[in-house]
Amino acid sequence: MLKVMQEARWSIVIPVKTLIRAKTRLAGAAGTHREDLAVAVAADTTSAALACPLVARVIVVTADPIPAARLAALGAVVVQDPDKGLNTALRAGFAHSVLLAPHDPVAALQADLPALRPAELAQVLAAAAQFDESFVPDATTVGTTLYATLPGVPFHPRFGGESRNRHLSGGAKELALDDIPTVRRDVDTVEDLRTAAALGLGPHTAAVAAKFLVD
């Protein structure tokens, strides 16, 4: 079902892992900087979302006090992660967003988008406002970086693994937009980080990456 929301202002839900589990695939490259990198990436993702003109609020879901304090200082609302998996965390953030603003649309956004640009996120959210339920595939077209629903629509995130196919089979509209590389470039490996660096890292990630990432 197609809907159109004029001048929608969104709640963005960002799940942030505990640092002991964050960015473990980057441990070999980042070494002792891995935890700092995880916090920095989440900080740049959160900062970009907060700077997007279509975003009213960012709700961070985490069980770790270190990123919780850092992201709250940036202006995010922090919600306790029930620690029962990624999609459960997103549903907890969604429930809180409904309490805060029941008539606003909600988007779940991965926390590892260190090159995210507010203008590209605005382009995605404007497109998402035309559909009940929608998503953006990651750069590999296997996973998902953003999942969105309009007010009153059931919120059923299906993140993890081959989530693009699960979102498609669940009826969500795939937002196949041009020129949104920073929304699709999540970072799990050092190769991903290099690709994100070519797009332009946010300042928090750039400062940490400079300590170990070499050309």
**Phi and psi at residue 60, in whole multiples of 5°?**
-95, 130
DSSP code, position 172: P
Distance CA 56, CA 207 (A): 28
Q: Residue 84 has what DSSP assignment?
A: S
Q: Which residues contact 52 (CB under 8 A, 6 or more apart)?
A: 12, 118, 119, 121, 122, 125
Helix ranges, 4-117 (H): 27-30, 34-51, 65-74, 86-100
Annotated binding site: 144, 160, 163
Residue with tokens 């590389």: 181
The tokens describing 185, both together, are: 């470039």
How far lies 71's CA from each of 16, 149, 160, in Å?
A: 10, 24, 23
Annotated binding residues for phosphoenolpyruvate, written as ranges, equal 144, 160, 163
Question: Dihedral of CA 162/176/191/209: which sign?
Answer: negative
> Pick from 39, 108, 90: which is nearest to 67 by CA?
39
